Amino acid sequence: MMKAARFHEYGGADVIRVEPVPVPEPGAGEVLVRIAATSFNPSDTALRAGRLREVLPLSLPYIPGWDVAGTVVTGAGRWKAGDRVMGRSDAGGAAAEFAAVPATVLVEATGFPDLATAAAVPVAGLTAWQAVIEHGKVTAGQRVLINGAGGGVGGFAVQLAKLAGATVIATASPRSAATVADLGADEVVDYTRSTLPAGMDAVINLAPIGPEEAAVLATLVRPGGTGVSVAAPVQGFFSFSARNDPGQVAELDALAAKGELRVDVTETVPLDGLADLHRRSEAGLTRGKVLIAV
């Protein structure tokens, strides 16, 4: 048996329980991973509340945790026992001591001396990569506005846009401003007080904004520029759900290994703290990446 956080029904944060469950039996092509950590993503609360059940129905009881960082116990494919791995498990399951994960979604975790930190990367890093590089097509010399830079995706987006050679204007409230500047933003604008700059080559929206803020963002892109939103519809912007791409996870890990990508880990909570973490996220009280150490 192992310890896992799971819920048996959709509902509020109270449905999350930490309980003994059988260690999963890896199926064909699956690796059994001893989890070092997973990380929290806001979609975890939507999954738990059942708000995504039309598009992503869960098999209940459900163990959350899409972000995987850990050590292989039973190998499959290219993996053998003892390998340090990271990746996105689209079936969840990483908020537990062990998870069975398809061998093909894992990559070697080399960039983080503390393996738990690698759990911050897959979901948020893939989203940032696809928003900034693939769909935003951010290139050297551009002026790019990153809205919602204080969040888990935002920390990666700021760094990736800087690595692409752009001038980055990032929005952050006072609680996140210093960190966002430290991650490389050239200018930080307080979205709670200031007018956002217009004439941007690209605007990347990572914040769950309402229609009024969305209408403002839509005016900030220069004619012929690019708008991308991962969190709310914005007129004229490209919206998408980040796909699982192990090659991109490996590229993010390689950047970390070279010291070119850092992770904004704001706190690490135990499995027993997961329900409280969901409550705090839903109250807007979390920022950056929160690890759930197992």
Ligand X SMILES: NC(=O)c1ccc[n+]([C@@H]2O[C@H](COP(=O)([O-])OP(=O)(O)OC[C@H]3O[C@@H](n4cnc5c(N)ncnc54)[C@H](OP(=O)(O)O)[C@@H]3O)[C@@H](O)[C@H]2O)c1
CA nearest to 39, candidates 73, 6, 72, 69: 69
Site membership for ligand X, residue 175 (CB under 6 A): yes
Contact between 209 and ligand X (CB under 6 A)? yes
| 213 touching ligand X, by CB under 6 A | yes
231-260 binders of ligand X (CB under 6 A): 231, 241-242
Say how far apart CA 63 and CA 65 lie, in whole Å.
7
Rounded to a whole number of angstroms, the minimum distance from the CB of residue 48 to ligand X is 13
* Ordered DSSP codes for the chain: -EEEEEBSSS-SGGG-EEEEEPPPPP-TTEEEEEEEEEE--THHHHHHHTTTTTTS---SSB----EEEEEEEE--TT--TT-EEEEE-TT---SBSEEEEEGGGEEE--S-SSGGGGGGSHHHHHHHHIIIIIIS---TT-EEEEETTTBHHHHHHHHHHHHTT-EEEEE--HHHHHHHHHTT-SEEE-TTTSPPP--EEEEEE-S---HHHHHHHHTSEEEEEEEEESSS--TT-EE-PPPP-HHHHHHHHHHHHTT-----EEEEEEGGGHHHHHHHHHTT---BEEEEE-
Task: Assess 204 for contact with ligand X (CB under 6 A).
Answer: no
Nearest CB to ligand X, comparing residues 26 and 87: 87
Is the Cβ of residue 67 or residue 201 nearer to ligand X in the bound state? 67
* By the rule CB under 6 A, 207 interacts with ligand X: yes
Closest CB to ligand X belongs to which residue?
151
* Segment lying near ligand X (by CB under 6 A), choices 31-39, 57-65, 71-79, 208-216: 208-216
Task: Pick the binder of ligand X from 43, 71, 167, 244 (CB under 6 A).
Answer: 43
When asked if residue 152 is in the footprint of ligand X (CB under 6 A), the reply is: yes
Beta carbon of residue 162, minimum distance to ligand X (angstroms, whole number) = 17
Q: Examine residue 88 and tell whether it contacts ligand X (CB under 6 A).
A: no
Cis upstream peptide for 197 (omega within 30°): no
Which parts of 107-126 interact with ligand X (CB under 6 A)?
A: 123-124
The answer to whether 154 contacts ligand X (rule: CB under 6 A) is yes
Least Å distance between CB 137 and ligand X? Answer: 17
Asked whether position 230 contacts ligand X by CB under 6 A, the answer is: yes
Per rule CB under 6 A, is residue 102 in the interface with ligand X? Answer: no
Query: How many residues bind ligand X, per CB under 6 A?
Result: 30
The stretch near ligand X (CB under 6 A) out of 11-19, 75-83, 94-102, 142-150 is: 142-150
Chain Cα centroid distance, residue 257: 19
Determine if 76 is a binding residue for ligand X (CB under 6 A): no
Per CB under 6 A, residues contacting ligand X are 41-43, 123-124, 127, 147-148, 150-154, 171-173, 175-176, 191, 206-209, 213, 230-231, 241-242, 286-287
